[in-house]
Chain A
Amino acid sequence: MSTSADRHEAGSRGGGGGRRLGLRRLALLIAVAAIAVAGTREIAELRAYRESVVASEALTRRVPLSTYFDGIRGTLMDAPVYVFDSGAPGGSVLILAGTHPYEPASPTMAYVVMENIEVSRGRVFVIPRASMSASSLGMLGNAYPAFFRVKTPWGEKKYRIGDRETNPLDQWPDPFTFVHYPSRQNLAYQDSRNLNRAFPGRPDGNLTERTAFAITEMIRREKIDLTVDVHEASLGYPVVSTYVCHQRAEEMCMMAAMILSAEQFPMKTETSPKTLRGLTHREIGDFTESFAVLMESPEPFIDKFVGPMTEDLMVTGRDEFEQTAADRGLLYTDYNIKTGASIDYRVARHLGGAAEIVKQMGEFYPAKRVSASWPTFAEVMQHGVGYFLHDPSKADGRRVFFN
C-alpha cells in the first residue's frame, strides 16, 4: 500500500525531476541486466558445451536414440547410442550412464569403456548421456561448479556436472503431483522431470517419459540381455556402494557382490522393491526381457552435510564433515578423509562392478555370455582415469564424437 507521502512525492515530480527518475531506473535496469547476463554466462556455456570422446576401434555404429522412438527426435534428449558388436553370437549388454548427470562418475565410466573396449563375443551398447537435458543445468539452490576436469597425460579433459532432472527449458511446467505411468503411483512433482522415475515411459507422455520409452524400446528391439544403469549415491543413503537388482537378476548380483567384496572393493546387493516405481531396476526388469541392475558408487559431493561444493570436492571426495559423520557411524559405507572417494576410485568401482556382473551373467546363462574387456579396477586405481582417455586432436577423426 502506498503512503500519502509517496503519492505526494510522485505527484510533485515533473519535467527535469521525471527525467532524472527515468534515467535512474534505466541505469538500475541496465546494471541488474548486466549482472544477470554475467551470472548466467556459465549456464549458457554449460548448455552449449559438448564433451569429446575417442571411441575404440571396436565401435561398429552410432545411432540416435530416436531410431527406436521418433517422439524425441529433434530434442536435446535424443542422445547418441554407441554400439560395439563383435559379430560373434552371444549376449548383449547395455551400459546406461548419465541418467542423473550430477553423478558424473557414471558418464565418465561410460567414456572410459567407449575409449578402450574390446569385444570378442556378443554386443555392448553404451549410452553415455541418457539425460542430455539434465546435464545442461545445475541444481537449483546448490551453488556448485558447472564443470570438473580430469587430468590426462596430454592435458585436461572437461566434463559437465549437471543436475538430476530435465532442464525446465525443455520440459515445463511441472504438474502439482506426478502420476507414474502405468502404475498410477503418486510421486513428487519434480519427479516428472526425473528420468529414473519415468520408466518404462510412455509414447505420448512428457519429454522425460518419452525418453524413458525410447530407452525401453531400444532394450526390447535390440534384445538386450543385461541393462546396467550406472549411478552415484550420497554416503548417507543406505544403498550406496550397492547393486540394486530386479529379482530375476538377484542371484547373479549376489555372486558378483561377493566376489567383488572378497577380491577388489566392498559391494553390497539389494533387491529392487516392488512398490518403488519408475526406476530402471524395477521397470526394465518388469517390462522387458532384460536383467536390470543399477550400481551406486559413493559420491560425497551430493551429501547434504558436506562443506563447499567445489570442483576439488567432486574430484577428490575429501571433506571434513563427511569424516565427522563417518566417525559417528552415520554413513552406510567406509570413508576416510585421507583417501576420500576420488573420481578415479568411483569410476574404477563402476568399471569393476560392470565387468563382474557381465561375467556373472555368462556364468549363469552361458548362451548370453559377452566377452568384452575395458580397464580394470586395479588399473584405474594405479594410473588414474585420465590415463585411459585419449587426445581427440591426435585421434582418427572418424572415431571422435561430441556429446
Chain B
Amino acid sequence: MRHLIVVFSLIILGFQANGQLYMAQNGEVSFFSKTPLEDIDALNKQVGSIINADNNEVAVQMRVTNFVFPNKLMQEHFNENYLESDKFPSATFKGKIREVIDLKVPGTYAVTAVGTATIHGITNPIEIKGTIVSKGDQVSLACQFDIKLVDYKIDIPRIVFAKIAEVIRVSSKINYVKK
C-alpha cells in the first residue's frame, strides 16, 4: 500500500512538473503576398504551439497542407509545386523569449522570440517580435514577420514570378491554455 502511494505521488509529481506549460491546438497563422498582378492570402487554423513558462521556450508546429486559399488551384500549386508538402509536411519554429518575463503573472508583454524556423525542409535563424497578453491561466500571442522565399529555397518559375512576392508577410495569432 505504501509503495502504491509512492507510485502515485511520482505520477502526480510528473503532472505537477507540467504545470508551467501553455498549449495551443488551434492557433492561426496566415500569410499575404502582394504584387501589382495578384494578391495571395492563405490561413491555417490548426497550428499547434507550446510555451514553457519555466524557461520561456516556445515551439510552433503546423501542417503545410492545412493552409486554406480562396482559390483551390492555388492551394494545390502551393502544396505540390512550391512548398512540396509531401516531402516536407510541416513548418516549425523553435526558440526562446529573450525578455525576462513571468507569463504566470497577468499583463501585456512585448516580446522577442529568438530561434530557428524550418520551412520547406530548410532551417534558418529568425527573430520574431510580438505581443503576449497573459491572464494567468490563458495566454495569447500575436506577431508579424517577413519570410524571404529565397532563404527557404522556394522556387518560383519565371513565368509566374510577377504574381508572387519575393517577401511574404506572415501573421500569427495563437491562444494558449495552461496545461
A joins B in a complex: no
